[in-house]
Amino acid sequence: MTPEAAAPLELPEPELRELVEQCVSRYPTDGMRAVDELSALFPRLAEALRRRVAILERSGLLGPERPERRYPEQLGDFRLLELIGEGGMGAVFRAQQLSLGRLVALKVIRAENVYSPRSRERFQREIEAIAAMRSPGIVQVYTVGDDHGVPFYAMELVDGINLSDLVLELRRIPPERLSGSDIRATLARVVQGGDSTSTGGEADELFAGTYVQACCRLALRIARTLAYAHERGVLHRDVKPSNVMLDRSGRVLLLDFGLARAMQPETDALTRTGAVVGSLAYMAPEQMRGDKGIDGRVDVYGLGVTLYELLTHRAAFRGDTQEDLRSKVMSGVVPVPTQINPTIPSDAETICLRAMAPESARRYASAQAFADDLQRFLELRPIEARRSGAAYRVRRLAQRHPAKATAFTAGLLLAVGGPSLIAVQERLARTEIQGALAQAERYQKSYEHALKAALQGMERTTMRLAGDEQLATGKLDGLRRELLEGAAGFWQTMADVDDPHPSVRDALMQARRVLATVRGELGDLAGARLVLDGAVAELERACQAATDTQRPSLEQDLAKMLLEQAQVMATQHDWLPAIAAWSRSIEIGQASLPTAPNPKATRRHIARCRLNIAQVQRQNSDARSAAATCREVIETLGDAGDADLLLLARTQYSSVLMYDANLEAARPELEAVVALRDERERLNPGDAGNLRGLKTALHNLGYLHQQLRDLPSAREAIERAAVIARRLVEAFPDRLEDKLGLVSSLIVLGNVCLRQQDKVRAESVCRDALALAEAMAVAHAEVREVNATLAQVRGGLAQAIGDNSAHYSEAASLLRAAKQTHAQLARAPEATAQDLAHLGTTQGLLASALSRLGEPEEARVAEAEALATLAAAAQREPDSPNIRRNTATVLSTGIVRALVAGDHGHVRALLQKAAPVPALDAELWTLLRVMPAEVIEQLEHLRALAADK
């Protein structure tokens, strides 16, 4: 007797509509291959599927007759290799970054959306949302750019599969027959070049155990990523299987932040009109209704529906039409997961259904709470979620079938004597309410006192945590960051309290200031600004509605909040709003001076605002206004009695004088500041604020000596500045400003060493600076100053190694990358003349590097670009000594190259460019006169010929 053959497994067939949707979504990239693959997978539906797709093709909705989208072969530093995927707003390409030779995923706005302000704003918002976050669950952004009006960003190239495709692959086997290892095997089979041993570590844990456990681990990692994003004020709003990627190493990545927005509704200009965005089948009911004030629970809902699909291999909601689907989502009725997959444990089903509850109040309050319950389930501990009770189920039944419910309820009341029952219930409710009110009144004062005391204590602890140098050193660095993240969560909760009691409103408003400080310490400038913007708007509204008695206190709080808001704006180079906020703060302070309880403190506040405005004036090339503002502040601070602020004012005044080339006037100011801060450092070596001031003063003094050509004094001062800067970075590793300060000092030190012919030290310093700058650029890709600093470091290193033939190619590559970054910065709306000057200088250095590489034609092009860029900078700032000096340097190096090549015509042309500008001509000849006498004689002869011509 022969044994019977085992019965073949039957594939649980999806609905035809679902397969058509898969074909439509894949058609732009896969074409008919998608139809063939799905037909082979589900042969019984193949004929109907092909018939539906053919109808769509004939209707013009699919097929080659659709306009071809054209993309350039290269964008900025990136060569586009192949289209990976395309969505409603953008296209993702596999690309090569030319300067570094690495493969990346490059997302570009879709060709037809380039000129759509709405699409560009949404694309920009996606860039800002992703670049501002650093999480293992979010794809790392390498760089952001814009090439001739086409925005793009480069991110790591992920080799994996999205959960929508994973579910489709897993449908080969019913979910109750799967295990976690089946997900691993599917991943290894689908990912190109993958194998079953290509994953390990985290992947071993992810895929261990039952299929349900593996699905819950996937959901847990997504929930943690969402919690991270929500803590930073970002909602995803489109959580669904196709937006989650599982890579071959076992990482779970949340993709496509194209619909992400800030959690405060007033900041979302794209959806303020009530427009519904997202994918209907995964969209929370309140999101579908276009409700205002949606929060992180919409993402919890989307993840709950995604988990449902993972567990059951079927979509939670299906509809024949959009309206049908919308109606089913709003009803919230889904088949119980265990009816489809009986192996799902009760707790896992409860967690899934609680996350996707149709009423937001019944869902998990946050993504973190969702993650915590998933963790409890996986650790076999009791979960927090509870199944819906009978009363809730009856109420939901009544909402779905109101006529039947009304008749049933009426009959029940008549049967038990309705009027008597209602009267009894009313008396009981009234008694309970009265008792609760009485208890609330008894406890209100003690509650308010306790809350204020707790907030004050927590504030002291948080600010100590943010500024304590000892806690931020060595092995405690990670602990400090973890504690700061926890503190941010606490203060976020306090800041989110709606309509607080007037007696605690001030304390809760202070919570926002502390939260913004913590966000800044963690490098989250966008999050800090979001908090402060909301606080300022709320205080403005409160001031308008306040009585004459209430208004002075509220305006004082508003003035402080405006100062902090403007400081964050300035750090983001958002100059005009920053100046407006400082000016408004000054206006409030001046108006309150006659009645201020502490006039000296008010004057100090006004002085801080003015110093900040002077800083922006200097950065925007208005040195004279900046100097006048600084002098005015220094004069008024004598009465304010604030030695720290006076030192800051003198430091800033000296830097303005240096910027205006008034070096002799700046030197005594700087030397006095260094002496005063040295004395403070001797008395209190651990004062981080004084160390930062001393570092700045020494840096400026070193730069001043460099300009005066006193290189030994310059090196001594800048070496000290670099030592202090490194000490600060080691003490406060999370402070972006300290890292920028260190890199800035290393750039100047490298330049001084190079001018002293100490090329070994110059290269070492510049490579150290480059490593620091590249690390900052990865962590803070959205910060303009970080990108500018990275470009400057690349230029500095190129200069340091440029004379070594072994490094010619590296130097040119560094300068090309620096030129690309400077060009992007110079094209930005907030660009200054100095941005153009940096670009022109880099183009000039590139010309020299290309000449050394034996590429004279390319060098001549780069030289022409440099002179044109510097001329544009000079038009915007005619009296800038830096621009004049940089222009003279480009001209002199070009003249030397032309002399070597024997191209006297080009020498005359370059000399002729400087002749009409006496100051530039004098600067040029100062540089040329270091050459041998016979060369000078030849140059003067050529200049005379050029003048005659």
List the catalytic residues: 238
Q: Hey, is 590 helix, strand or coil?
A: helix
Cβ distance 579 to 585 under 8 Å? Answer: no
Cα(428)–Cα(422) distance, rounded to whole angstroms? 10
SS (H, E, C) 7-48: CCCCCCCCCHHHHHHHHHHHHHHHCHHHHHHHHHHCHHHHHH
Alpha helices in 246-284 (DSSP H): none
DSSP state of 596: -
Instruction: Supply 21's token pair.
Output: 């949707």
Contact 532, 564 (CB under 8 A): yes
111: amino acid identity, one letter: A
Spatial distance between the Cα atoms of 322 and 345, rounded to a whole number of angstroms? 33
For the sheet containing 90-97, what is the strand order? 74-75, 78-86, 90-97, 102-109, 150-155, 141-147
Residues 6 or more apart whose CB falls under 8 angstroms from that of 43 comprise: none
Residues 6+ positions from 131 with CB-CB distance below 8 Å: 141, 144, 153, 781, 782
Q: For residues 630-639, b (16+ Cβ closer than 10 Å) or e, as one string?
A: beebbeebee
Q: What are the residues facing 252 on neighbouring strands?
A: 246
Could you give the CA distance from residue 391 to residue 708 in angstroms, rounded to a whole number?
Answer: 84
Output the CA torsion 803→809→814→815 (10° steps).
70
Give how far Cα 664 sits from Cα of 12, 371, 770, Å. Answer: 84, 62, 33
Contact in structure between 109 and 123 (CB atoms under 8 Å):
yes
For residues 137 and 144, what is the distance between their CA atoms, to the nearest angstrom? 20
**Which is nearest to 180 in space by CA: 152, 133, 217, 140?**
217
- State how far the Cα of 239 lies from the Cα of 363, in Å rounded to an integer: 16
Q: What residue type is 674 in one-letter code?
A: V
Structure tokens at 896: 């030397």
Quote the DSSP letter at residue 263: S
Instruction: Indicate the helix (H) or strand (E) that contains 673.
Output: helix 663-683
Residue pair 155/130 in contact (Cβ under 8 Å)? The answer is: yes
Residue type at 6 in one-letter notation = A
Nearest 5°: phi and psi at 236? Answer: -80, -50
CA angle 484, 488, 493 (to 5 degrees): 150
Residues 521, 738: Cα–Cα separation, whole Å: 11
Q: Which residue has the tokens 């940089």?
A: 886
Label residue 110 exposed, middle or buried (CB < 10 Å: 0-12, 13-18, 19+).
Answer: middle
306/302 Cα distance (integer angstroms):
6
Question: 625 is written with which tokens?
Answer: 């206004």
Contact by Cβ (8 Å): 745, 695:
yes
Cα–Cα distance measured from residue 935 to residue 578, given in angstroms and rounded to the nearest whole number: 52
- What CA–CA distance (Å, rounded) separates 874 from 884? 7
Radius of gyration over every alpha carbon of the chain, rounded to an integer in angstroms: 33
Count H helices, E strands: the chain?
A: 38, 11
| Single-letter code of the amino acid located at 848 | S
